[in-house]
């Protein structure tokens, strides 16, 4: 049974015809080509598939499309076009936060979610803010440093 | 072809679907979407019809009604942790449920109705004598959480009912000291290995007028026993120490952990000892750590 689901994706109206139980993650990657959103664990543990739904960070592997009707979804492809997104991405690059890169879209979404509610977090708060995101390369230190760098450089953006 | 999923537009339609198709509600999806996933690109398959209810405003909202806190079944852990209306132990339990991304999705209704013995929110809710409001096409009824939680993954929810809201009665006089501790592995997204919520009320004469304690992940059901609690009620707080061994043995008797029983029993004992012995010293701060 398929249904038409309408929502906003990165500021544009989109309409998808699919099973209401299909995961938002699969629709983003397969139907809409937003492959910046990654799948790793598929059970909400790793944060690689994080996006913003109405401004709040969520893991798309756990969201059925029926729950997306009328929502505003922001993926890394949308965030990177904003001033905040550019600031974060430059800080991640300059701070050496990226190794294999697989977790980074989710990390950047988590960083945006954190800074939106707390523009000047402490290191401890940054670690708490990205605690739902796993990275197997960096050991996290450079990611934490880069988020702090973005927080300093982006004074007033958040 | 039989429909396997529904998106009701209002409560009336949701209750009718529940009655006619037996569809079960899905809100946050943090348990159900994972339990029934089938891999990348494949639509999750449920063994029963489901209805998506996260869009229904009727399940939202945290309100104060006649001195009682009413939490809509569709309220997320994040909404609960930031609400100043909600009692501290419930906010604390909500704030420790996984990462922010999970707390933005997971709902109190799912956490209660899933009836996992390791669920986090039912532990303080049981301690606070919470009630549930259940609705069906035939009407509305209330049931205590204690009666609702029948066993592991088993509740008293009828096949035609939906959980509407969780009601937390006021505590008067307020508890003097409170305790909540969740023991898990990775802080983000850890399932509780063990949890304990406790509270004690001491009057101006130093008498214990109320004591409550509930344990999660320590048996097939969240554990609480009023008779055991009463062993510490009506005594001077200074007598706690001499009552402690008998009380701890009795409390141990209401636990029935299957895996790692020695660990769960001894950790519970140590937490209760610590909470009660600290309360005897009458610290200024009401939340004991």
pLDDT in tens, A56-105: 999 999 999 999 999 999 999 999 999 999 999 999 999 999 999 999 99
Q: B139 φ, ψ to 5°?
A: 140, -165
Give the pairing of strands B50-52 and B24-26.
parallel
| B146 at interface of A, judged by CB pairs closer than 8 A | no
Average pLDDT over residues A42-66: 97
Average pLDDT over residues A39-47: 95
The answer, yes or no, to whether residue B1 has pLDDT greater than 60, is no
pLDDT (0 to 100) of residue B48: 95
Per-residue model confidence as pLDDT tens digits over B130-153: 999 999 999 999 999 999 999 999
Within 8 A of A31 by CB-CB distance, chain B residues are none
How sure is the predictor about A120, in pLDDT bands with cuts at 50, 70 and 90? Answer: very high
- What proportion of chain B, given as a percentage, has pLDDT over 90? 94
To the question of domain A80-153 being in CATH 3.40.50.300, the answer is no
The reply to whether ipTM tops 0.90 is: yes
Q: How far is CA B160 from CA B15, B17, B21, B126, B261, in A?
A: 7, 9, 9, 24, 37
Q: Where are the beta strands (DSSP E) in B22-125?
A: 24-26, 50-52, 62-65, 68-72
pLDDT (0 to 100) of residue B142: 98
The answer, yes or no, to whether residue B176 has pLDDT greater than 50, is yes
pLDDT (0 to 100) of residue B192: 83
Q: How far is CA B264 from CA A156, B183, B217, B277, in A?
A: 49, 10, 8, 20
The three-point CA angle B198-B203-B209 to 5° equals 50
Equal CATH topology for A3-75 and A80-153 = no
Q: What are the structural domains of chain B? A: 5-168 (3.30.465.10), 177-280 (3.30.390.50)
| B44 at interface of A, judged by CB pairs closer than 8 A | yes
The answer, yes or no, to whether residue B285 has pLDDT greater than 70, is yes
- Chain A: give the shortest CA distance to residue B243, in Å: 40
- Chain B: give the shortest CA distance to residue A158, in Å: 18
Residue A8's nearest CA partner among A78, A81, A60 is A78
Average pLDDT over residues B28-41: 95
Average pLDDT over residues B251-255: 97
What spatial distance separates the first Cα and last Cα of chain A, rounded to whole Å?
42
Within 8 A of A63 by CB-CB distance, chain B residues are 29, 33, 105
The answer, yes or no, to whether residue B189 has pLDDT greater than 70, is no
Whether the bond into B173 is cis, omega within 30 of 0? yes
pLDDT (0 to 100) of residue B2: 61
The CATH code that applies to domain A3-75 is: 3.10.20.30
Domain boundaries, chain A: 3-75, 80-153
CB B63 within 8 A of CB B88: no
User: For residue B141, what is the enclosing H or E element?
Assistant: strand B139-144
- Mean pLDDT for chain B overall: 96
């Amino acid at each position: 049974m398929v249904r038409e689901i309408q929502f906003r994706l990165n500021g544009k109206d989109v309409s998808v015809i699919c099973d209401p139980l299909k995961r938002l993650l699969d629709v983003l990657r397969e139907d809409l080509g937003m492959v910046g959103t990654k799948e790793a664990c598929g059970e909400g543990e790793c944060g690689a598939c994080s996006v913003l739904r109405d401004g709040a960070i969520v893991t798309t592997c756990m969201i059925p499309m029926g729950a997306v009707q009328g929502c505003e979804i922001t993926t890394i492809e949308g965030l990177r076009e904003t001033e905040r997104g550019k600031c974060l991405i430059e800080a991640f690059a300059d701070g050496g936060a990226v190794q294999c890169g697989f977790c980074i879209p989710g990390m950047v979404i988590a960083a945006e979610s954190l800074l939106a509610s707390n523009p000047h977090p402490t290191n401890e708060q940054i670690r708490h803010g990205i605690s739902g995101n796993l990275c197997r390369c960096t050991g996290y230190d450079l990611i934490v440093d880069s988020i702090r760098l973005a927080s300093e450089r982006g004074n007033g953006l958040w | 072809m039989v429909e396997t999923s529904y998106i009701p537009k209002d409560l009336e339609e949701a209750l009718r679907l529940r009655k006619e198709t037996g569809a079960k509600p899905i809100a946050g999806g943090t348990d159900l979407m994972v339990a029934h996933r089938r891999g990348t690109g494949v639509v999750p398959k449920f063994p029963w019809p489901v209805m998506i209810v996260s869009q229904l405003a009727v399940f939202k909202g945290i309100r104060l009604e006649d001195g009682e806190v009413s939490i809509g079944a569709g309220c997320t852990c994040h909404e609960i942790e930031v609400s100043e209306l909600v009692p501290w132990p419930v906010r604390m339990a909500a704030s420790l449920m996984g990462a922010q991304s999970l707390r933005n999705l997971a709902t109190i209704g799912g956490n209660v109705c899933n009836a996992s013995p390791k669920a986090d929110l039912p532990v303080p809710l049981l301690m606070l004598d919470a009630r549930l409001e259940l609705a069906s096409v035939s009407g509305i009824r209330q049931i205590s959480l204690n009666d609702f939680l029948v066993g592991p993954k088993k509740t008293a929810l009828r096949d035609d009912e939906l959980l509407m809201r969780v009601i937390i009665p006021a505590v008067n006089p307020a508890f003097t000291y409170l305790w909540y501790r969740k023991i898990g592995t990775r802080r983000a997204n850890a399932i509780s290995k063990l949890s304990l919520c406790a509270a004690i009320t001491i009057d101006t004469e130093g008498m214990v007028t109320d004591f409550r304690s509930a344990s999660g992940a320590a048996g097939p059901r969240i554990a609480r026993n009023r008779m055991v609690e009463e062993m510490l009620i009506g005594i001077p707080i200074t007598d706690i120490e001499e009552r402690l061994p008998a009380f701890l043995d009795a409390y141990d008797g209401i636990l029935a952990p299957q895996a790692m029983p020695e660990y769960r029993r001894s950790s519970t004992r140590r937490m209760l000892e610590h909470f009660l012995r600290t309360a005897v010293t009458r610290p200024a701060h009401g939340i004991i750590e």
